[in-house]
């Protein structure tokens, strides 16, 4: 009789767990259905990445620290992707990078100081800082600028540099290019 009762409770527990998992899956699917195909594809990619990390952890191929950091990174990227999609109401996501404070050297040769990071600021005409996400630890999220944004930004910087050069004075012809003298070549 005791075995039957424990079997009944065991079966009820399993059914409860399955219902909870199923409701979590339904909630995730419902959550993702509000986004367009591009955002849903990115969220699916992150889900697949999480499954790969979980699988590698189950086979003891990675350390627990590596597992936790990457699980937290994936969660941070997911949170930022959904935030961008909600705020912009656009089915577009830039290429996102999530790094911890110790990993800044992976993105930048000369990493910016954490206290000078401003949301929306562009670094080295390559990355735009989007903000930080606390997901088990703090991750700084950057969007990689697409080639068009990079070239537009470089053109603006070149124009600003030329205007600054012109404002210093010096001879000029009509137009914005400063006049330079030809180099003197001594002939024997």
pLDDT of residue 181: 44
Residue 18 placed within a domain: no
C-beta of residue 102 within 8 angstroms of C-beta of residue 73: no
Is the residue at 7 inside a domain? no
φ/ψ of 93, rounded to 5, equals: -130, 135
User: Is the Cβ–Cβ distance between 148 and 155 less than 8 Å?
Assistant: no
96 is a domain residue: yes
Please indicate, yes or no, if residue 186 is contained in any of the structural domains.
no
Q: Is residue 3 part of a domain?
A: no
pLDDT tens, position by position, 41-86: 999 999 999 999 999 999 999 999 999 999 999 999 999 999 999 9
Residue 60 belongs to some domain of the structure? yes
In this prediction, residue 171 carries a pLDDT of 47
Instruction: Give per-residue pLDDT as tens, 8-30.
Output: 555 454 444 545 445 444 445 55
The predicted pLDDT at position 98 comes to 96
Domain count, the chain: 1
Q: Is residue 14 part of a domain?
A: no
- In three-state secondary structure terms, 2 is helix
Q: Are 129 and 149 in contact (CB under 8 A)?
A: no
Which range of residues forms the domain containing residue 100? 25-109+116-165
Q: Which helix (H) or strand (E) holds 162?
A: helix 147-167
Residue 82 lies in a domain: yes
């Amino acid at each position: 009789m005791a075995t039957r009762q424990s079997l009944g409770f065991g079966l009820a527990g399993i059914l409860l767990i399955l219902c909870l998992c199923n409701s979590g899956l339904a909630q995730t699917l419902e959550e993702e259905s509000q986004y367009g195909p591009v955002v849903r594809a990115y969220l699916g990619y992150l889900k697949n990445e999480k499954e790969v990390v979980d699988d590698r952890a189950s086979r003891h191929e990675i350390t627990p620290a590596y597992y936790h950091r990457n699980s937290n990174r994936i969660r941070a990227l997911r949170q930022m992707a959904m935030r961008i999609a909600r705020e912009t109401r656009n089915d577009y996501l830039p290429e996102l990078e999530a790094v911890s404070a110790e990993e800044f050297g992976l993105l930048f040769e000369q990493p910016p100081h954490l206290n000078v990071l401003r949301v929306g600021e562009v670094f080295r005409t390559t990355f735009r800082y989007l903000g930080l996400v606390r997901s088990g630890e703090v991750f700084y999220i950057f969007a990689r600028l697409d080639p068009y944004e990079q070239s537009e930004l470089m053109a603006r910087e070149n124009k600003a540099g030329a205007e600054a050069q012109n404002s210093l004075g010096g001879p000029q012809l009509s137009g914005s290019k400063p006049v330079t003298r030809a180099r003197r070549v001594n002939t024997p």
